[in-house]
Chain A
Amino acid sequence: MQRFIPLIIVSALVLLFLGMMLSDRNPKEIDSVLIGRPVPAFSLESLAQDAPVLTEADLKTGKPVLVNFFASWCVPCRAEHENLMVLAGQYRIPVIGIAYKNEADKARGFLSELGNPFAKTGLDLDGRVGIDWGVSGVPETFLVDGEGVIRYRHWGPIVGDSLEKRLLPELERLQ
């Protein structure tokens, strides 16, 4: 019997790997534990002058909103910016932008250069709010329903077919 043990182990491992490869998963993506939970409480200064502070109350509007963590130093954020403009313009989804570990004037420069898709903005300079939301890097985008509950987390930039294949179906389900 002993002599069959290596063969059994190898067969089990091959089956495991096969299962992992056939399943549609991205090992870089970490499941968010916040799905189905209310958004964490926060209060952030706005990037716009004289605008009121951004709090979790701004996310409970009765309509789904997107919360996008971005930074001017982040190259993938640049890549997904066009899609954020489309979401805000064409699909009329309020997008809330939180500048993550980014100085205010640099974040403002980023938005004036590429256009501002954000209905409201917040400045998370030390990244504390990012930690509460479980952000592992920018960009990350959260879909929050009208009651302020996180419904979907999009890891990485919204580029390629991920807008149509992943984010929009999630939005439709909510609407």
Chain B
Amino acid sequence: MAGELGHFSLILALIFALIGATVPHIGAARGDARLMALGDRSVFAQFLMAISAFSALTYAFITSDFSVVNVATNSHTLKPMLYKVSGVWGNHEGSLLFWVLILTLFGALVSWRGQKLPLQFRSRVLAVQSLLVVGFLMFILFTSNPFLRLDPAPLEGNGLNPLLQDPGLAFHPPMLYLGYVGLSIAFSFAVAALLEGEVTPLWARWVRPWALLAWVFLTGGIALGSWWAYYELGWGGWWFWDPVENASFMPWLAAAALLHSAIVVEKRDALKSWTILLAIVAFSLSLLGTFLVRSGVVNSVHAFATDPARGIFILAFLGIVVGGSMALYAWRAPKMAPSGLFGVVSRESALVVNNIFLSTFAAVVLVGTLYPLFVEAFGAGQITVGPPFFEYAAAVLMSPLIVALGVGPLLAWKRGKVSRAFQIVVPALVVALVAGTVLVWRTSGGYVMTAIGFGLAIWLLASVFLEIASRIKLWQAPGKAWARFAKITRAQWGMSLAHAGLGVILLGVTISEAFTTEDLRVMAPGDTATVAGYDFTFEGVAPVAGPNFTAVRGFFTVRGGGETLTTLTPEDRVYTNPVMNTTEAGIYPLIAGDLYAVIGEAAGAGRWSVRLYFKPMISALWLGALMMMIGGILSLSDRRLRIGLPTGKKKVQAITRGAA
């Protein structure tokens, strides 16, 4: 019954979306306010129907209703409740339904909070958003219906991919989807602006929170994914430059560029055409990621089971949405003339530099990801583009970005002085140079990159600190510094925290890559191995039975500095449904770094092959990502940026004056 209800809700949602995608445009063309207002009702109706469909599927998963094909192929009665629920979006059909749910939720939010937007513009935005919903609903109903029935119903389901049965991965996909779909709002705003033929600072004020929200979710999703890879894949890596990882990283870069360039539109009414393009590109890259995962064009650990019909459908959708919006852009872009000007040395220019590097990096990642396809398409054989390419690009493009990032926030809006900015950061430069040189001296040779990375990280952290210090006039007037400190707005804290987060990540990457100690060996119970000064004693193994797996659990007692620190319990699991082998690393984070142990295969006579690591400062990666997210959320919670139009005009002025 629930299945039919869900199916019916989807069909109704499609009808509402079709109305919402067409009627408001007619209304806008005729100047008929009633037709335009239909857009608002339509998005609420779509949202209600999407909730109904999603609840129906969730209900089927929770109650293990195996008469629904989707539940039978992806769930199992013995699965813990968390994974029954996460199984809803852990498969192709369910994840598309989740997309629709979020698309309609965000559409409803725009309608609810956007009552102050001009009616015609709002109805255009909602109509574009509805059109996206139409595309996804047709995709679901025609190629990927999650409510198809199975008769007779099997007694037991096939179970979820064991790799997905993990708290990190239960929330990694929905976070990413929230990010991808958040960018759809920026896209709808961009297309509506192109249709209307004008981009105003108000437009940027509206788009920025959405870009920021999407960026926060993408940051969280990517960080969760890399954390999962770190403890689950069992060899200490956390990023692989896999095509699908890249597919989530590219929208992240584009969103980061977008939320910076939108500032320039808002402040200076410039960079308009570029910002519109970025908004379209950011969402297009999200769609590209979806396409790559589901079409079978590239090979990846993340790929869903693929089906040619689905691939063709989503490619057609991609072609219409992206091609259509780019054609619209080509037609309308000349109308986006800037009205404001800014000097070469100014905060605006620094933001342009930021945009150049971020978007170049996104383009390089795109080329690297698709290059093997080009080569194969032109019959030149099969190649892969590996981490060295991406790492080199990252080093070359991100280093100047980080240097600029240190200076940018110190420059005045419109017309700044390099000299004044540099005065403030000279101490930071000195600290960074010293730190880098010390490292070169201590480790002598082969570590130049480490020194550069370390120096850049310190540079960034120091200049964030100095920016705050100069804002509160810590050195000039220390007496009133506290009062000024308390007045720093959340948006400013958000910026500082996010920038510092990048510095922390860079620090973590540099230190952990350069100084990880790794030991592969065969150990018998009672053996002790010393890794980076920590003594790992192998105490033996014990069998463990989980709800839907059996495992071999190894025990390692770790001692350091004369005392017992912890017992690591890595596992080698074998899941029963479907049969699959997974590893669970045993990890204990210390302040200096992570103790990391993996149990491998039995080597006979009670001995086991094991891998032991000490990974210094690796936690900084996730700490930095968390700082970025908190920074984004702080900024979102700032009154000036809150989703919706500012209410008290006086207050807004006061805050902007304070920030200038």
Q: Which residues of A contact B (CB under 8 A)?
A: 3-4, 6-7, 10-11, 13-14, 16-21, 25, 27-28, 30-31, 75
Question: Which chain B residues border A4 with CB–CB below 8 Å?
Answer: 330
A27 touches B296 (CB 8 A): yes
B323 touches A17 (CB 8 A): no
Query: Besides A7-B330, A14-B315, 6 other CB < 8 A contacts?
Result: A3-B334, A14-B319, A18-B315, A20-B297, A21-B308, A31-B381
B329 touches A6 (CB 8 A): yes
Q: How far is the CA of A3 from the CA of B334 in the complex (A)?
A: 8
What are 18 A-to-B residue pairs whose CB atoms are below 8 Å?
A: A3-B273, A3-B329, A3-B330, A4-B330, A6-B277, A7-B323, A7-B326, A10-B284, A10-B326, A13-B370, A16-B377, A17-B315, A20-B297, A21-B296, A21-B311, A27-B297, A30-B382, A31-B382
Question: Which chain A residues border B329 with CB–CB below 8 Å?
Answer: 3, 6-7
- How many chain B residues touch A (CB < 8 A): the figure is 33
Select which of A6, A16, A30 is within 8 A of B330 by beta carbon: A6
Smallest CB gap from A28: residue in B: B299
Q: How far is the CA of A14 from the CA of B318 in the complex (A)?
A: 8
Q: For the complex formed, measure the closest distance between the CB of B213 and the CB atoms of chain A, giving whole angstroms.
A: 25
Interface string of B251-286 (1 = CB under 8 A from A): 000000000000000000000010001001100100
B319 touches A21 (CB 8 A): no
Question: Which chain A residues border B273 with CB–CB below 8 Å?
Answer: 3
B330 touches A11 (CB 8 A): no
Quick one: given A3-B329, A14-B315, A31-B382, are A19 and B377 in contact (CB under 8 Å)?
yes
Q: How far is the CA of A3 from the CA of B332 in the complex (A)?
A: 9
Q: How far is the CA of A16 from the CA of B298 in the complex (A)?
A: 13
B311 touches A27 (CB 8 A): no
Q: How far is the CA of A16 from the CA of B375 in the complex (A)?
A: 11
B333 touches A17 (CB 8 A): no
Question: Which chain B residues border A75 with CB–CB below 8 Å?
Answer: 579
Smallest CB gap from A31: residue in B: B382
B370 touches A3 (CB 8 A): no
Q: How far is the CA of A151 from the CA of B459 in the complex (A)?
A: 59
Question: Which chain B residues border A11 with CB–CB below 8 Å?
Answer: 323
- The 9 residue pairs across chains A and B that have the minimum distance between CB atoms: A27-B299, A7-B326, A3-B333, A14-B319, A6-B326, A3-B330, A4-B330, A28-B299, A21-B311
B380-429 interface (Cβ within 8 A of A): 381-382
Q: How far is the CA of A146 from the CA of B280 in the complex (A)?
A: 59
Q: How far is the CA of A19 from the CA of B298 in the complex (A)?
A: 13
Question: Which chain A residues border B485 with CB–CB below 8 Å?
Answer: none
Question: Which chain B residues border A18 with CB–CB below 8 Å?
Answer: 312, 315
Smallest CB gap from B296: residue in A: A27
Task: Tell whether B322 is near chain A: CB-to-CB under 8 Å.
Answer: yes
Q: For the complex formed, measure the closest distance between the CB of B7 and the CB atoms of chain A, giving whole angstroms.
A: 28
Q: For the complex formed, measure the closest distance between the CB of A103 and the CB atoms of chain B, giving whole angstroms.
A: 9
Interface string of B292-315 (1 = CB under 8 A from A): 000111110000000010011001
B330 touches A21 (CB 8 A): no
Q: Which residues of B contact A (CB under 8 A)?
A: 273, 277, 280-281, 284, 291, 295-299, 308, 311-312, 315, 318-319, 322-323, 326-327, 329-330, 333-334, 370, 373-374, 376-377, 381-382, 579
Smallest CB gap from A14: residue in B: B319
Q: For the complex formed, measure the closest distance between the CB of B580 and the CB atoms of chain A, giving whole angstroms.
A: 9
Question: Which chain A residues border B319 with CB–CB below 8 Å?
Answer: 10, 14
Smallest CB gap from B363: residue in A: A9
Smallest CB gap from A17: residue in B: B315
Smallest CB gap from A25: residue in B: B376
Question: Which chain B residues border A31 with CB–CB below 8 Å?
Answer: 381-382
Select which of B277, B333, B377, B381 is within 8 A of A20 by beta carbon: B377
Q: For the complex formed, measure the closest distance between the CB of A62 and the CB atoms of chain B, giving whole angstroms.
A: 32
Q: For the complex formed, measure the closest distance between the CB of B607 and the CB atoms of chain A, giving whole angstroms.
A: 15
Q: How far is the CA of A9 from the CA of B203 in the complex (A)?
A: 27
Question: Which chain B residues border A10 with CB–CB below 8 Å?
Answer: 284, 319, 322-323, 326
Q: How far is the CA of A27 from the CA of B322 in the complex (A)?
A: 25
Smallest CB gap from A27: residue in B: B299
B373 touches A20 (CB 8 A): yes
Q: For the complex formed, measure the closest distance between the CB of A104 and the CB atoms of chain B, giving whole angstroms.
A: 13
Question: Which chain A residues border B326 with CB–CB below 8 Å?
Answer: 6-7, 10
Q: For the complex formed, measure the closest distance between the CB of B583 and the CB atoms of chain A, giving whole angstroms.
A: 15
Question: Which chain A residues border B318 with CB–CB below 8 Å?
Answer: 14, 17
Question: Which chain B residues border A27 with CB–CB below 8 Å?
Answer: 296-299
Quick one: given A21-B297, A27-B297, A31-B381, are A6 and B281 in contact (CB under 8 Å)?
yes
Quick one: given A7-B329, A75-B579, are A17 and B291 in contact (CB under 8 Å)?
yes
Q: How far is the CA of A3 from the CA of B330 in the complex (A)?
A: 5
Question: Which chain A residues border B311 with CB–CB below 8 Å?
Answer: 21
A17 touches B322 (CB 8 A): no
Question: Which chain A residues border B291 with CB–CB below 8 Å?
Answer: 17
Question: Which chain B residues border A3 with CB–CB below 8 Å?
Answer: 273, 329-330, 333-334
A16 touches B373 (CB 8 A): yes
Quick one: given A16-B373, A27-B298, A28-B299, are A21 and B323 in contact (CB under 8 Å)?
no
Smallest CB gap from B318: residue in A: A14
Q: For the complex formed, measure the closest distance between the CB of B386 and the CB atoms of chain A, giving whole angstroms.
A: 14
A21 touches B312 (CB 8 A): yes
Question: Which chain A residues border B579 with CB–CB below 8 Å?
Answer: 75
Q: How far is the CA of A17 from the CA of B322 in the complex (A)?
A: 14
Smallest CB gap from A12: residue in B: B374
Question: Which chain B residues border A14 with CB–CB below 8 Å?
Answer: 315, 318-319, 322-323
Select which of B281, B284, B315, B381 is within 8 A of A21 by beta carbon: B315
Q: How far is the CA of A168 from the CA of B291 in the complex (A)?
A: 34
Q: How far is the CA of A17 from the CA of B312 in the complex (A)?
A: 9
Q: How far is the CA of A21 from the CA of B373 in the complex (A)?
A: 11
Quick one: given A6-B281, A31-B381, are A17 and B295 in contact (CB under 8 Å)?
yes
Q: How far is the CA of A17 from the CA of B296 in the complex (A)?
A: 10
Question: Which chain A residues border B295 with CB–CB below 8 Å?
Answer: 17, 21
Q: How far is the CA of A169 from the CA of B327 in the complex (A)?
A: 47
Question: Which chain A residues border B376 with CB–CB below 8 Å?
Answer: 20, 25
Question: Which chain B residues border A13 with CB–CB below 8 Å?
Answer: 370
Quick one: given A7-B327, A10-B326, A21-B315, are A16 and B374 in contact (CB under 8 Å)?
yes
Q: For the complex formed, measure the closest distance between the CB of A10 and the CB atoms of chain B, giving whole angstroms.
A: 5
Q: For the complex formed, measure the closest distance between the CB of A19 and the CB atoms of chain B, giving whole angstroms.
A: 6
Q: How far is the CA of A11 from the CA of B330 in the complex (A)?
A: 13
Q: For the complex formed, measure the closest distance between the CB of A2 and the CB atoms of chain B, giving whole angstroms.
A: 8
Residue with the greatest number of chain A CB neighbours at <10 A, chosen from B308, B326, B370, B381: B326
Q: For the complex formed, measure the closest distance between the CB of B356 and the CB atoms of chain A, giving whole angstroms.
A: 16
Smallest CB gap from A20: residue in B: B297
Q: How far is the CA of A10 from the CA of B288 in the complex (A)?
A: 11
